[in-house]
Amino acid sequence: MCRGVIVVITAFFSVVFLKRKQYTHHIVSLLFIVAGVAIVGWVSVANSDASADDGGQASTTAFGVILLLLSQCFTGCLFISEEVFLSGYYLDPFLVVGLEGMWGSLIFAILLPIF
């Protein structure tokens, strides 16, 4: 539902931390994304409000949306920090994605049996 907002958060972080300029076509597209995410989020909360038997489902849905937005902020920070740390190097994109996948799989293969 709120996964599209990562573009907006990353664009905001790139302006703040990387001092990048957003042009008019960037801002217009970001406004469309914000409008779409707002509509989907509002429909989700309103729909859970209408179908709730116990009245607590709407607050749970709103809390879930807030947690999703918070997680997208952390993901945006990850994207920006990767760009800051790796901007001085030429790296093949396939190699970078492959190494991220390999290390992620290795770490979770170790942590999964522990948990």
* 43-to-46, 55, 58 alpha-carbon distances in Å: 5, 16, 11
The pLDDT, as a whole number, for residue 111 is 95
> What is the band of 81 on the pLDDT scale with cuts at 50, 70, 90?
very high
- For the segment 17-59, what is each residue's pLDDT rounded down to a tens digit? 999 999 999 999 999 999 998 888 788 777 765 555 555 666 7
Listed residue (30, 32, 38) closest to 1, CA to CA: 38
